[in-house]
Protein backbone atom coordinates (compact mmCIF):
# COMPACT_ATOMS: atom_id res chain seq x y z
CA UNK A 1 0.00 0.00 0.00
CA UNK A 2 2.54 2.57 1.14
CA UNK A 3 5.20 3.16 -1.52
CA UNK A 4 8.69 2.24 -0.37
CA UNK A 5 10.59 5.39 0.45
CA UNK A 6 14.20 5.85 -0.50
CA UNK A 7 16.27 7.34 2.30
CA UNK A 8 17.93 10.56 1.20
CA UNK A 9 21.70 10.78 1.53
CA UNK A 10 21.38 14.55 1.91
CA UNK A 11 22.37 14.55 5.62
CA UNK A 12 26.01 13.93 4.67
CA UNK A 13 26.13 16.98 2.42
CA UNK A 14 23.86 19.00 4.69
CA UNK A 15 26.13 18.31 7.69
CA UNK A 16 29.24 19.36 5.75
CA UNK A 17 27.33 22.41 4.49
CA UNK A 18 26.25 23.29 8.01
CA UNK A 19 29.74 22.82 9.45
CA UNK A 20 31.25 24.93 6.67
CA UNK A 21 28.63 27.62 7.11
CA UNK A 22 29.19 27.78 10.84
CA UNK A 23 32.99 27.90 10.44
CA UNK A 24 32.91 30.53 7.71
CA UNK A 25 30.50 32.69 9.69
CA UNK A 26 32.70 32.46 12.79
CA UNK A 27 36.16 32.94 11.30
CA UNK A 28 35.70 33.86 7.63
CA UNK A 29 35.63 37.66 8.04
CA UNK A 30 38.63 37.61 10.42
CA UNK A 31 40.60 35.41 8.02
CA UNK A 32 39.88 37.85 5.19
CA UNK A 33 40.95 40.72 7.44
CA UNK A 34 44.20 39.06 8.54
CA UNK A 35 45.32 37.55 5.24
CA UNK A 36 43.83 40.14 2.89
CA UNK A 37 44.13 43.45 4.76
CA UNK A 38 46.10 43.45 8.00
CA UNK A 39 49.19 41.58 6.81
CA UNK A 40 49.56 43.11 3.30
CA UNK A 41 48.95 46.65 4.63
CA UNK A 42 51.05 46.15 7.76
CA UNK A 43 48.21 46.92 10.17
CA UNK A 44 48.21 45.74 13.79
CA UNK A 45 50.17 42.54 13.18
CA UNK A 46 54.00 42.07 13.00
CA UNK A 47 55.32 42.37 9.44
CA UNK A 48 56.50 38.75 9.30
CA UNK A 49 53.21 37.23 10.54
CA UNK A 50 52.71 35.40 7.28
CA UNK A 51 56.32 34.95 6.26
CA UNK A 52 57.15 31.63 4.57
CA UNK A 53 58.89 30.30 7.67
CA UNK A 54 55.95 31.13 9.94
CA UNK A 55 53.33 29.69 7.67
CA UNK A 56 55.41 26.55 7.03
CA UNK A 57 55.81 26.01 10.75
CA UNK A 58 52.06 26.47 11.19
CA UNK A 59 51.33 23.93 8.45
CA UNK A 60 53.76 21.43 9.99
CA UNK A 61 52.09 21.51 13.38
CA UNK A 62 49.28 18.94 13.66
CA UNK A 63 46.84 21.53 15.04
CA UNK A 64 47.78 23.90 12.21
CA UNK A 65 47.18 21.12 9.69
CA UNK A 66 43.77 20.40 11.17
CA UNK A 67 42.86 24.09 11.05
CA UNK A 68 43.98 24.54 7.44
CA UNK A 69 42.22 21.38 6.30
CA UNK A 70 39.00 22.33 8.09
CA UNK A 71 38.98 25.83 6.62
CA UNK A 72 39.68 24.70 3.05
CA UNK A 73 37.56 21.55 2.98
CA UNK A 74 34.52 22.75 4.90
CA UNK A 75 34.38 26.09 3.05
CA UNK A 76 34.49 24.12 -0.22
CA UNK A 77 31.71 21.73 0.82
CA UNK A 78 29.62 24.66 1.96
CA UNK A 79 30.08 26.41 -1.37
CA UNK A 80 29.43 23.23 -3.37
CA UNK A 81 26.12 22.61 -1.58
CA UNK A 82 25.01 26.20 -2.02
CA UNK A 83 25.90 26.24 -5.72
CA UNK A 84 24.17 22.88 -6.26
CA UNK A 85 20.92 24.12 -4.72
CA UNK A 86 21.13 27.51 -6.44
CA UNK A 87 21.47 25.74 -9.79
CA UNK A 88 18.23 23.90 -9.00
CA UNK A 89 16.56 27.22 -8.10
CA UNK A 90 17.54 28.86 -11.40
CA UNK A 91 16.24 25.90 -13.37
CA UNK A 92 19.29 23.64 -13.88
CA UNK A 93 17.99 20.28 -12.68
CA UNK A 94 20.94 18.26 -13.85
CA UNK A 95 20.55 15.98 -10.83
CA UNK A 96 23.39 13.50 -10.69
CA UNK A 97 25.52 15.50 -13.14
CA UNK A 98 25.33 18.76 -11.19
CA UNK A 99 25.83 16.83 -7.98
CA UNK A 100 28.99 15.18 -9.30
CA UNK A 101 30.45 18.47 -10.54
CA UNK A 102 29.64 20.47 -7.36
CA UNK A 103 30.48 17.91 -4.71
CA UNK A 104 33.22 16.40 -6.89
CA UNK A 105 35.09 19.72 -6.94
CA UNK A 106 34.80 19.95 -3.18
CA UNK A 107 36.10 16.41 -2.84
CA UNK A 108 39.03 17.10 -5.18
CA UNK A 109 39.85 20.27 -3.23
CA UNK A 110 39.72 18.36 0.03
CA UNK A 111 42.03 15.61 -1.27
CA UNK A 112 44.53 18.12 -2.70
CA UNK A 113 44.56 20.07 0.59
CA UNK A 114 45.06 16.89 2.62
CA UNK A 115 47.83 15.68 0.30
CA UNK A 116 49.61 19.07 0.39
CA UNK A 117 49.41 19.18 4.19
CA UNK A 118 50.98 15.76 4.41
CA UNK A 119 53.59 16.65 1.76
CA UNK A 120 54.95 19.63 3.72
CA UNK A 121 55.96 17.21 6.43
CA UNK A 122 55.77 17.38 10.20
Partner 1 sequence: MAEGQKTIEIEVLRYHPENDTEPHAQVFEIPFTDDMSVLQGVQYIKDHLDGSLSFRWSCRMAICGSCGMMINGVPSLSCQTFLRDYYPARVRVEALAHFPIERDLVVNMEGFIEKLESIQPYIIPREARTLSEGEYLQTPEQLGAYEQFSSCINCLLCYAACPQFGLNSRFVGPAALALLHRYNADSRDGGKAERMELVNSEDGVFNCTAVGYCSEVCPKHVDPANAVNQNKTNSAIDYFLRFLAPKGGAR
Q: Three-state DSSP class for 78?
A: helix
11 binds partner 1 (CB under 8 A): yes
22 binds partner 1 (CB under 8 A): no
Q: Which of 93, 96, 119, 122 binds partner 1 (CB under 8 A)?
A: 93
62 binds partner 1 (CB under 8 A): no
5 binds partner 1 (CB under 8 A): yes
CA angle 121, 32, 53 (to 5 degrees): 30
8 binds partner 1 (CB under 8 A): yes
Find how far residue 64's CA is from the centre of its chain: 15
Q: What is the CA radius of gyration of the chain?
A: 18
Cβ closest to partner 1, residue 60 vs residue 85: 85
User: Is 33 in contact with 39 (CB distance < 8 Å)?
Assistant: no
- Give the footprint of partner 1 on this chain (CB under 8 A): 2, 5-8, 10-12, 14-15, 85, 88-89, 93
Amino acid sequence: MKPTLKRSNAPIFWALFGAGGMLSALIGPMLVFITGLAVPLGLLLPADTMSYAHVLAFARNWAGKAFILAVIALFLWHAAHRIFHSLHDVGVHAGTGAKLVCYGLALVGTVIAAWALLAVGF
